[in-house]
Amino acid sequence: QVQLQQSGPGLVKPSQTVSLTCTVSGVSISSGSHHWSWIRQHPGKGLEWIGYIYSKGDTYYNPSLKSRVTISLDTSKNQFSLILDSVTAADTALYFCAKGSTWLDPWGQGSLVTVSS
């Protein structure tokens, strides 16, 4: 059974960088044809797909965030990460990791990121 456990800071100052990690259990992130995604949900709002990384390292990002986003793999720890640069209040959201690049299943528990000085 695949499970995803997220970690990362809750509070970030404007213009700084936020880094979130998703630790995967139950499958090797570098094996097979797996994809690993990040999605966010603004408070009280719907969902926004951020991007995904393929098990071989290829990435694809939402064009609206592409200039500020990096998704990477750490195969030694069976983790994948999201880095978002130059954050503003508009990046305050609940961030989720998930398995898949089309339909998403399963999801991590979510990490609330608040951008505030």
Burial environment of residue 49 by CB neighbours within 10 A (0 to 12, 13 to 18, 19 or more): middle
Residue among 13 and 24 whose Cβ is closer to another protein: 24
Structure tokens at 47: 């969902």
Residue among 18 and 104 whose Cβ is closer to another protein: 104
Site string for another protein, 70-109 (x = CB under 8 A): --------------------------x-x--xxxxxxxxx
For residues 114 and 24, give the distance between their C-alpha atoms in angstroms, rounded to a whole number.
24
List interacting residues with another protein (CB under 8 A). 45-49, 60, 62-64, 96, 98, 101-110
